[in-house]
Structure 1
Amino acid sequence: MSLSKKRKVDTECRIFQEKWTSSYMFTEVNGKPVCLVCMQQVSVLKEYNIRRHYETQHGEKYNTLHGELRKQKVNEMLVGLRKQQSVFTRSREVSDAAVKASYVIASQIALASKPYCDGEFLKNCMLKAAEIVCPEKRQAFANISLTRNTVADRISELSADLDSQLKRKEESFLAFSIAIDESTDITDVAQLAIFIRGVDETLTVTEEFLELVPMTDTTTAEDIFRSVVGALDRVGVDWSRAVSLATDGAPSMIGKKAGVVTKFREKVQAANGGGNFWTFHCILHQEALCCKSLKMDHVMEVVVRTVNFIRARGLNHRQFDSFLSDCNITHGLPYHTEV
């Protein structure tokens, strides 16, 4: 294309003119010319294209309208278009609110550890309440999608978003520590809980539950170490910034030759050039170790027998609760365990 032709296209008037509304029954929507009769857009904002569309599609029907009749017809079409646009806007707002409500309810279901299918039950409850409290709003509640698959998808997306937030926070950590604990659930599957705590340059401490890793096979030190490394690599930690690890006192955890602590220390010191690395017992195990180290069996045995005697018999337990109530004591009496 020559320079003169290019300049002619650039300087050509591409602004919608008001006279086209009455002449060709067109209006401008989001910078595009739209026909008021068939709602079709014309790709190029030029009078020639708008006039050609009107003459070929609607000329025979509307050329007979002149003066005030034509102006009245155009105004009716404009009012109809605005109503249609307002309906679409309200529908989009309702849709956005319904999706947001779906995410909020799914989050509450996950926090309460409820089944995904409870979403449909909650929706039925909301619809029944809406019929009584605000019947005109019932459809807004009906638009909230809470099927089992939807709740599962919402929770997965929320989990992915939390992971991405943790990754962004982890990039600002100047130092972080890890706490792990492995325990068997009621289905005899070993579950490895991993927690991370980090601090940034403003001394803001972030503590998060990183991951719960099911270990369906063996739970050797190598298996636990590999699971911990995989969870930390998934969020992209800088191993040179690790400063401590808290575990229980199991041999697989604290073994001097091949324990998780030993493997973890070797990996961290390889990254930070042999810097300091500390290991700790978790607080529950520290309390248990203190009880055993203080040699207070003459006190603990009496207390344990008394507690278990009260809890093992329903009548004794009811009478003890009544005694506590009379003394204005709100605390209960749990069973005693070693850990």
Structure 2
Amino acid sequence: MFTKAESQSEAAVKASFIVAAEIAKSARPFTEGEFVKKCLLKVCDVICPDKKQTLLNVSLRRNTVAARACELATNLQEQLKEKGKDFMAYSLAADESSDTTDTAQLSIFIRGVDTKLSVTEELLGLKSMHGTTTGKEIFEEVSKCLNEMMLPWDKLVGLTTDGAPAMHGQKNGLVGRIREKMWENHAGELTVYHCIIHEEVLCGKALKAEHIMNTVTRVVTFIRAKGLNHRQFQSFLEELGSEYGDVPYHTEVRWLSRGKVLKRCFELREEICLFMESKGKDTTELRDKKFQCELAFLCDIVSHLDALKLQLQGRGLLEPSCASYFVRFSQRFADFEAQKCRFELLSNPFAVDVTSAPTNLQMELIELQCNDTLKSKYDSVGAAQFPQFLPDTLPQLRTQAAQMLSMFGSTYLCEQLFSLMKINKTPHRSRLTDEHLHSVLRISSAQSLTPEFDELASKKRCQVSGLDPGASK
């Protein structure tokens, strides 16, 4: 009887942990736990009334859900710390943003590669900075994170930031201070990247084609802003038998619509001119051949940039492929160009010229390229998975692969975390503490790790009471 009661108590605690995790992931307030419990009890009355007491044992009070969230976050952090002991190499991505109460939040993500060449990509730490955010203070928080997680400096190989002076400064910024710290610890060279998405945006601004976009926006606004003009234009296209029934609307907020608007306007340039002329509008610029050539060029470039933006937004993205973009890209992406040989070693080691490879890798590279079995494996699994099949007899290539696989190409994960932060800490939840905010964001951003619900529940020594058991902290 006692064993059964203990088992039910542990199950109730596990259930409260599971619900708390879902509440955190959905960015809902901790008080939602009580609403969930009411719903469960209503369902229970209809489907399984004999199980009602079991559900009553599940504690979902606000304080309990908040405590569970903190414990879940601690469990994820401990798992990451344990995994970190096996990292051959790791890289960091760091960025800073302010929450709704104007508190600066520094997010630090880690991408580590273990001895099996498996990648772990998780939130290393989120630090609230209530004072200034100088390079020195940011470095101190990053250093504190690494020390808390017992991560050695000599395994740090890469750092990706947004390029702000406090981050990218070679002397007083985060980059300069980390390099100095690594030099003190006799660590290797730090590879630093300015977030590739930020670089791509800067390249896009270098096109100097505002006059084209302004003209197109003015035309589209004339057509779409007034309902009558919009309906008449749609009817006009139908009368002409155009395969396109409308032009999409563009605003600065909807940046992704820019490429679509340009493309449609170029395809409908003749129809648009005829419609504008029917309304007594001057179309001299629209019919100008030079303008149309510039519009065609901008249409293609912006379409490529929009596609690149989408490709760069996500997890697990490593390889930057920008060879087709020529507007200032050679300058902006010089840091990636410097690593070209190392990228090629990872993407296709069988096609690399051995003489161009680093000296310490040449003998192993020759052995690899002469191995038909490994070549067959590379052809079957692809470049992304192949490093996991490198044998222990090629230690230098394994280390090289681990270092390259650990690198971030962008601060996308930081930006994504800040989006989650804005969803969670709203003006209506401005009193959410830093501890609870950090716990919620660690849970909702977790990808490689999952909470150990059974272990967490077994550690609890719950005493089943009549009203609301399982609320022990």
Q: TM-score, normalised by structure 1?
A: 0.64
In structure 1, what is the equivalent of residue 253 of structure 2?
335
Q: What is the match of residue 190 of structure 1?
A: 104
Please list the CA deviations of residues 109-142 of structure 1 after superposition, one character each: whole Å capped at 9, or x if unmatched.
1112221111111111110111112111111111
Residue 212 of structure 1 corresponds to which residue in structure 2? 126
How many pairs does the alignment contain? 243
Give distance in 2, aligned partners of 1:176 and 1:262: 18
Given the alignment, which residue of 278, 299, 304 partners 2:191?
Answer: 278
Whether 1:293 aligns to 2:293 is no
Q: Structure 1 residues 100 and 261, CA, compared in 2 at 3 Å: closer, same or farther?
A: same
Q: 1:168 aligns with which of 50, 74, 82?
A: 82
Structure 1 residue 299: Cα displacement: 4.7
Q: Which amino acid aligns with 1:253?
A: M
**Aligned counterparts of 1:297 and 1:267: Cα–Cα separation in 2:** 44
**Closer, same or farther in 2 for the Cα pair 1:122/1:292, shift >3 Å?**
same
The whole-number CA distance in structure 2 between the counterparts of 1:149 and 1:242 is 39
SS of corresponding position for 1:174: strand
What is the letter of the counterpart of residue 9 of structure 2?
S
| Shift of residue 315, structure 1, vs aligned partner | 6.8
Contact map agreement 1:194 1:210 (CA 8 A) in 2: yes
Where does residue 155 of structure 1 map in the other structure? 69
Once the two structures are superposed, residues 149-185 of structure 1 have per-residue CA deviations (whole angstroms, 9 ceiling, x without a partner) of 2112211211111111000111111111000111122
Alignment match of 2:8 (pick from 83, 94, 104) = 94
Give the equivalent residue in structure 1 for 2:180.
266
TM-aligned CA distance change 1:156 to 1:186, over 3 Å = closer
Matches within 5 A, 1:180-259: 180-259=94-173
The answer (yes or no) to whether the contact 2:89–2:155 under 8 Å persists in 1 is: yes
Superposition misfits of 4+ residues, deviation over 3 angstroms: 293-307, 312-316, 336-339
Is 1:118 the equivalent of 2:32? yes
Say if 1:98 and 1:140, in contact at 8 Å, map to a contact too. Answer: yes
Give the alignment of 1:28-177 within 5 angstroms. Answer: 87-177=1-91
Specify whether residues 126 and 241 from structure 1 end up closer, same or farther in structure 2 by C-alpha distance, changes over 3 A only. same
Cα-to-partner distance string for 1:27-59 (whole Å, 9 max, x where unaligned): xxxxxxxxxxxxxxxxxxxxxxxxxxxxxxxxx
SS in 2 for 1:209: strand
Alpha-carbon distance in 2 for matches of 1:290, 1:263: 28
1:201/1:156 CA distance change after superposition, 3 Å:
same
Q: Using the TM superposition, give the Cα deviation of residue 223 of structure 1 relative to its aligned residue in structure 2, in angstroms.
A: 1.3
Flag the structure with larger Rg. 1
Whether the 8 Å contact between 1:221 and 1:258 is mirrored in structure 2 is yes
- Paired AA for residue 159 in structure 1: A
Higher RCO (Cα < 8 Å, 6 or more apart): 2
Give the structure 2 partner of residue 3 of structure 1: none
**Residue identity matched to 2:190:** F
SS in 1 for 2:87: coil
Q: Using a 3 Å threshold, how does the CA distance of structure 1 residues 151 and 292 change in structure 2: closer, same or farther?
A: same
SS of 1:124's equivalent in the other structure is helix
- Aligned Cα root-mean-square deviation (Å): 3.4
Distance in 2 separating the partners of 1:153 and 1:204: 32
Residue 313 to residue 269, structure 1, CA distance change in 2 (3 Å): farther
Letter in 2 for 1:93: S
Q: Distance in 1 between matches of 2:217 and 2:176?
A: 36
Compared with structure 1, are the counterparts of its residues 107 and 93 closer, same or farther at alpha carbon in structure 2 (3 Å cutoff)? same
Q: TM-score, normalised by structure 2?
A: 0.46
Whether the aligned pair in 1 keeps the contact of 2:146 and 2:152 (CA below 8 Å) is no
- Deviation string 1:223-282 (CA, Å, 9 cap, x unpaired) is 111111112211111111001111112122222321111111111232234x22111112
Compared CA separation, residues 146 and 243, structure 1 to 2 (3 A): same
* Kept after mapping to 1: 8 A contact 2:87/2:113: yes
- Does the CA contact (< 8 Å) of 2:87 and 2:114 recur in 1? yes
- Greater fraction of residues in strand: 1
2:111, 2:122 within 8 Å by CA — same for their partners in 1? yes
**Distance of aligned partners of 1:98 and 1:193 in 2 relative to their CA distance in 1, 3 Å threshold:** same
Tell me how far apart the structure 2 counterparts of residues 152 and 278 of structure 1 sit (CA, whole Å). Answer: 39
Distance 2:149 2:225 in 1: 50
Give the counterpart letter for 1:245 in structure 2.
L
Identity of aligned residues (%): 45
Residue in 2 aligned with 1:54? none
Give the residue type in structure 2 aligned to 1:278.
Answer: T
Task: Please tell me whether the aligned partners of residues 170 and 237 of structure 1 are also in contact (alpha carbons under 8 angstroms).
Answer: yes
Q: Secondary structure of the equivalent of 2:115?
A: coil
In 1: Cα distance, 2:124 partner to 2:133 partner = 19
| Contact 1:176–1:196 (8 Å) recurs in 2 | yes
